[in-house]
Structure 1
Amino acid sequence: INIYGKSKWMVEQMGQSISQTHGMHFAALRYFNAAGADLEGEIGESHDPETHLIPLLIQTALKKRPHFTLFGSDHETPDGTPIRDFIHVTDLAEAHVKALEWMRENNKNLTLNLGTGKGHSVKEVIRAVEKELGSSIPVVEGERLKEDPPLLVANPEKAFELLNWKPKHSDLPTIIQTAKQWLKKR
């Protein structure tokens, strides 16, 4: 587990402690890779500098960056690149609402993994962005990131069951198109 994962775990532990001490309830909703933008193109995120895979690839495909740096292709995965579970922000928003409703009805804490349960490799995402935008992406290989795990895919079954929720917008084409629509406005 990397430092980011440890920090998230520590916050969950603090939530448990506050719950036990003060009788407050909390939800620990563990996102995997939040991606995409509002389906109507009104809300999105913007980072400076950008560090997220899909926006970086879209910017490169739109010629706003000279190339995309692939940090390692020697992972123990079928194509050598990390595999991640991408979940659309609209699906995450719906899960939040359903989690709050569940907590109100059950008066309990809630810890859930929010993802699709399906992973896509970095190379798969590169090909998907190229296909959706009709543009090739120049790729430069960089050094593998030390703490980059080869596989991060959610087990969302508990969320599916308790919340009666499943992602509806988390296919790569929808994620890419909504992110592109938002990024083109920037």
Structure 2
Amino acid sequence: MIDGPIDGKVMVTGGAGYIGSHAVLALLDAGYEVVVVDNLVTGFDWAVDSRAELVECDVADEGRVRAAIRGHRVRAVMHFAGSVVVPESVSDPLKYYRNNTAASRSLIESAVAEGVPHFIFSSTAATYGTPAKVPVAEGDPTVPINPYGTSKLMTEAMLRDVAAAHPINYCALRYFNVAGADPQGRSGQSTAGATHLIKVAVEAATGKRDGVSVFGTDFDTPDGTGVRDYIHVSDLAAAHVAALELLVAEPTRSHTLNCGYGRGFSVNEVLDAVDRVTNVTVERRYEGRRPGDPAALIADNAAILAALPWRPERDDLDGIVRDALAWERALAERAS
């Protein structure tokens, strides 16, 4: 591993959004210099830490992105920008192939043209589709069942081919269910109308919503509701920093790694945790399954534990809920 930050800056696309803003914090806290590229369609300029510089533009704008890479001496890209709502990807697939696949192609081309040697990609467990077994490992079949997963898998394929043809290496990090907020209260999930379960549930517990819809009660799971592997967003951000250091230390190797804890909780178990932490009984509205939702997605995280010195520090469901709740209350104060 390298002893310190790279000789240049890290460009974080989507750094004004939920996961991207936490990666910015992790990079800055580790001593890296950061430039954020975000079109602010779903992100917030106030979510970008003051130690970073913000360039407001779309990642598909190759002229402005290339100028930013040159002007800021960018030596690595962390790519978070994109669209992330699975049901919306089913109803509006072209949006996802534009924002996730076509825009990523433009960004990768800009990075290659400007000689950026390292690229970290925000991928997803949705690339696996409905896995034949859980936990699911990186070498298992990738058969997405929704356009969101397909759009991300296509970008992984582009990175693999580009790394074989050009002097750039990459790490594709396949996220499972990201939740929680910065324990220091510096960032959290702020998007209106978010669909992530823990975000929705703490909004209900604080009166922003009148309840939580539970989509599907007849899955082949212990209680019939969907099971997911929830990872704290700050642990995920730390994994990105460790992945960058691995790419710098081994510049001819690329990696695809699951980001999860290797343990799943059902929707009902998550809502039980929210009830415990908030001392509020959130109303549960049981509805039919949503298109594109597998019964269970749990990470086999052996590869990331072997490849990186990263170890989960916040693997506690109640703790994840507490941090999400604290951020929700901070947002309410900001709005008042």
Q: 1:137 aligns with which of 282, 303, 306?
A: 282
Residue identity in the other structure for 1:109: S
Task: Answer yes or no: is 1:57 the counterpart of 2:201.
Answer: yes
The answer for the alignment partner of 1:182 in structure 2 is 327
SS at match of 1:26: strand
Deviation at 1:170, TM superposition (A): 2.7
Distance 2:268 2:160 in 1: 38
The answer for the alignment partner of 1:38 in structure 2 is 182
Distance 2:293 2:263 in 1: 18
The answer for the alignment partner of 2:163 in structure 1 is 19
Task: Answer yes or no: is 1:119 the counterpart of 2:119.
Answer: no
Residue identity in the other structure for 1:104: V
Structure 2's unaligned 5+ residue stretches are: 1-143, 332-336
Aligned residues between the structures: 186
The answer for the alignment partner of 2:239 in structure 1 is 95
Distance 1:116 1:142 in 2: 28
Contact 2:213 2:284 in 1 (8 A): yes
> What do you get for the CA RMSD once the two structures are aligned?
1.0
The answer for the alignment partner of 1:163 in structure 2 is 308
SS at match of 1:166: coil
Task: Answer yes or no: is 1:8 the counterpart of 2:155.
Answer: no
Distance 2:155 2:299 in 1: 19
**TM-score (normalizing by structure 2):** 0.54
Which runs of 4 or more aligned residues in structure 1 lie more than 2 Å from their structure 2 counterparts after TM superposition? none
Contact 2:189 2:199 in 1 (8 A): no
Distance 2:181 2:222 in 1: 29
SS at match of 2:274: helix
SS at match of 2:174: strand
Task: Answer yes or no: is 1:28 the counterpart of 2:172.
Answer: yes
1:68-83 counterparts in 2 under 5 A?
Answer: 68-83=212-227
For residues 125-179 of structure 1, the C-alpha deviation after alignment (integer angstroms, 9 at most, x for no partner) is 0000000001101111122112210011111111001102221113111111111
Structure 1's unaligned 5+ residue stretches are: none
Distance 1:133 1:173 in 2: 10
**TM-score (normalizing by structure 1):** 0.96
Contact 2:172 2:256 in 1 (8 A): yes
Percentage of identical aligned residues: 41
Distance 1:61 1:48 in 2: 16
Identify which of structures 1 and 2 has the higher relative contact order when contacts are C-alpha pairs closer than 8 Å and 6+ apart: 1
Q: 1:146 aligns with which of 276, 283, 291?
A: 291
Deviation at 1:31, TM superposition (A): 0.8
